[in-house]
Amino acid sequence: MIINQGDKEDQTNTFNKYAFACAIVASMVSIVSGYDTGVMSGAMLFIKEDLGISDTQQEVLAGILNLCALVGSLTAGRTSDYIGRRYTIFLASILFILGAGLMGYGPNYAILMVGRCVCGVGVGFALMIAPVYSAEISSASSRGFLTSLPELCIGIGILLGYISNYVLGKYLSLKLGWRLMLGIAALPSFVVAFCILTMPESPRWLVMQGQLGKAKKVLMQVSNTTQEAELRLKDIKIAAGLDENCNDETVKLPQKSHQGEGVWKELILRPTPSVRWMLIAAVGIHFFEHATGIEAVMLYSPRIFRKAGITGKEKLLLATIGVGLTKIVFLVIALFLLDKLGRRRLLQISTGGMIIGLTLLGLSLTVVDKSNGNVLWALILSIVATYAYVAFFNIGLGPITWVYSSEIFPLKLRAQGASIGVAVNRTMNAVVSMTFISIYKAITIGGSFFMFAGISVLAWLFFYFFLPETKGKALEEMEMVFTKKSSGKNVAIEMDPIQKV
């Protein structure tokens, strides 16, 4: 099978505004997902005071979102193959509305947990489907930019959650403040649910349903020229197992081609060497995204800053807002570097910086822990190290995890392959968020960040040896990238342009 899209598509590098608008709308659901994560970091301070919950209950409340997101992510792949990418995003929005309503009502810990669980399933859907949809409507030259938009929106949501903590916690009563913090997420969810219905369906999903006429119309909208649209459609048809010269409006595909039958067998039980490598890469990058400690910093940053010597809820929440701002600034920078520097180089720079940041954070917090009074230099170093770690994470590992795992799988395996990655992601997120307090009590808070630094070293080695470069490659070219025809650094050898046509 010969794929030529990557070579020809790059001839049209003009940014497509309609594809950008579609990716923005799809990514809006990630704002709500991020808000649910960010708002809980501060809301827990008020919930503990109001409901009198223990540290263990706090850990469960923080981590249950991710355990339920695990369920959501595992069902989202099959769901999106049945009802489409667009309606899966709509379903995620409805779940957010229901969950936010329950948490906003929150008369007791049990109802709060139920609402958190419902939101968690929505998070699982959103994390899987937004990057997949963005990847499937993007051209190869802008895919890194558009597919990282959901991660940027998660960052915006987290920052809005931090700001909500500060403003509502300061100006509203204890009982009303945290409930409004959690319940207000229903409003943007309504907006997302409405906007999502104005979007076109993924052209690649339409081809898998045999709806070639509709797929071509969408590709004409998200491509810059008719020639580009026709080339993309041709390569998608080949990837779907259709005759590239078929011009029928609708065709009947074998039942298993569009209902996901046999997908799990091809992914896990009997994968080809290239698919096995893809699965290892996707699972590995999702594992290390959270095993390197980002959830501990984002969710428990008020506790970290309190340990460092910052006192008072207002100061703690302001310092946490700084973490959210840092995240967004460096995510924006990453948007413009992904398609220029490439995935591998950014990952290596990002993980290297994270190792330094985590080591310094562990050192400074250890000094603070062992000293009797406040050590000014250690306090300053812990704040700088926290911000540096968040910056390096979000310029590489944060956005690339979602870009990479949503672009590498073949068409018929993409949704469920991505869902496996998200399931691993949510599992590790839950493990870190539900055990961090217990870990730092056992090995000290400084020791816990030394541990994360050690894991980051393993992550750097994994990325170096197992992740080939995918920058500028068409989705239909990925199986060729993930073959043994690679250099010692696992960077796919560039073929001669004549060979690619």
Residue 129 is encoded by which pair of tokens?
């489907």
Average pLDDT of the chain, as a whole number: 85
- With pLDDT > 90 as the criterion, what percentage of the chain qualifies? 36
The predicted structure's pLDDT at residue 491: 46
Residue whose C-alpha is closest to residue 233's, from 215, 256, 211? 215
The predicted structure's pLDDT at residue 495: 35
**Residue indicated by tokens 């998608």:** 236
The mean per-residue pLDDT over the stretch 132-159 comes to: 88
Residue 487 is encoded by which pair of tokens?
């250099």
The mean per-residue pLDDT over the stretch 362-374 comes to: 82
The predicted structure's pLDDT at residue 261: 55
The predicted structure's pLDDT at residue 378: 83
If asked whether residues 284 and 234 sit together in one domain, one would say no
- Who contacts 453 (Cβ-Cβ below 8 Å, separation ≥6)? 354, 355, 358, 359, 362
The predicted structure's pLDDT at residue 492: 42
Could you give the 3-state DSSP secondary structure of residue 492?
Answer: strand
If asked whether residues 224 and 300 sit together in one domain, one would say no
The predicted structure's pLDDT at residue 14: 64
Among 265-279, 284-298, 305-319, 394-408, which stretch is predicted with the lowest mean pLDDT? Answer: 305-319
92/118 Cα distance (integer angstroms): 10
Most confident of 35-49, 294-308, 443-457: 443-457
Task: Give the side-chain half-sphere CA count within 13 A for 383.
Answer: 17
| Residue 262 placed within a domain | no
The predicted structure's pLDDT at residue 279: 94
Phi (first) and psi of residue 57, to 5 degrees: -65, -35
| Residue 427 placed within a domain | yes
Q: How many domains, in total, are found in the chain?
A: 2
The mean per-residue pLDDT over the stretch 50-61 comes to: 84
The predicted structure's pLDDT at residue 485: 52
pLDDT surpasses 60 at 494: no
If asked whether residues 244 and 275 sit together in one domain, one would say no
Q: Is the model more confident about 196 or about 455?
A: 455
145/64 Cα distance (integer angstroms): 31
Most confident of 46-60, 276-290, 374-388: 276-290
Q: pTM for the whole thing?
A: 0.79
The mean per-residue pLDDT over the stretch 298-308 comes to: 74
The predicted structure's pLDDT at residue 12: 47
DSSP 8-state class, residue 309: T
If asked whether residues 374 and 444 sit together in one domain, one would say yes
Could you give the 3-state DSSP secondary structure of residue 409?
Answer: coil
- Who contacts 252 (Cβ-Cβ below 8 Å, separation ≥6)? 210
Alpha helices in 106-198 (DSSP H): 109-137, 143-147, 149-171, 174-183, 186-196
| Residue 7 placed within a domain | no
The predicted structure's pLDDT at residue 158: 84
Residue whose C-alpha is closest to residue 452's, from 385, 380, 357, 366? 357
If asked whether residues 38 and 168 sit together in one domain, one would say yes
Domain that holds residue 355: 270-483
| Residue 195 placed within a domain | yes
86/205 Cα distance (integer angstroms): 10
Terminal Cα distance for the chain, rounded: 11
Give me the sign of the Cα torsion angle 131, 124, 449, 284: negative
pLDDT surpasses 90 at 344: yes
The mean per-residue pLDDT over the stretch 170-195 comes to: 89
The predicted structure's pLDDT at residue 484: 58
| Residue 496 placed within a domain | no
Domain boundary among 218, 252, 286: 252
pLDDT surpasses 90 at 371: no
Residues 121 and 423: beta-carbon distance below 8 Å: no
The mean per-residue pLDDT over the stretch 436-443 comes to: 88
If asked whether residues 377 and 463 sit together in one domain, one would say yes
452/44 Cα distance (integer angstroms): 24
| Residue 499 placed within a domain | no
If asked whether residues 234 and 311 sit together in one domain, one would say no
Could you give the 3-state DSSP secondary structure of residue 246?
Answer: coil
| Residue 110 placed within a domain | yes
The predicted structure's pLDDT at residue 8: 43
Domain boundary among 252, 279, 299: 252
Residues 385 and 323: beta-carbon distance below 8 Å: no
What's the distance, CA 477 to chain centroid? Answer: 23
pLDDT surpasses 80 at 298: no
Domain boundary among 204, 224, 252: 252
| Residue 494 placed within a domain | no
Give bridge partners of residue 492 from the DSSP assignment. 486
CATH number, domain of 153, equals 1.20.1250.20
Give me the sign of the Cα torsion angle 419, 222, 331, 354: positive
DSSP per-residue codes, 43-96 = HHHHHHHHH---HHHHHHHHHHHHHHHHHHHHHHHHHHHHH-HHHHHHHHHHHH
If asked whether residues 353 and 450 sit together in one domain, one would say yes
> 499 falls in which pLDDT band (50, 70, 90)?
very low
Give bridge partners of residue 92 from the DSSP assignment. none
If asked whether residues 427 and 479 sit together in one domain, one would say yes
Residues 51 and 168: beta-carbon distance below 8 Å: no
If asked whether residues 248 and 274 sit together in one domain, one would say no
What's the distance, CA 478 to chain centroid? Answer: 20
Among 115-124, 298-307, 458-467, which stretch is predicted with the lowest mean pLDDT? Answer: 298-307
If asked whether residues 227 and 324 sit together in one domain, one would say no
If asked whether residues 126 and 237 sit together in one domain, one would say yes
> 4 falls in which pLDDT band (50, 70, 90)?
very low
239/204 Cα distance (integer angstroms): 10
Residues 481 and 492: beta-carbon distance below 8 Å: yes
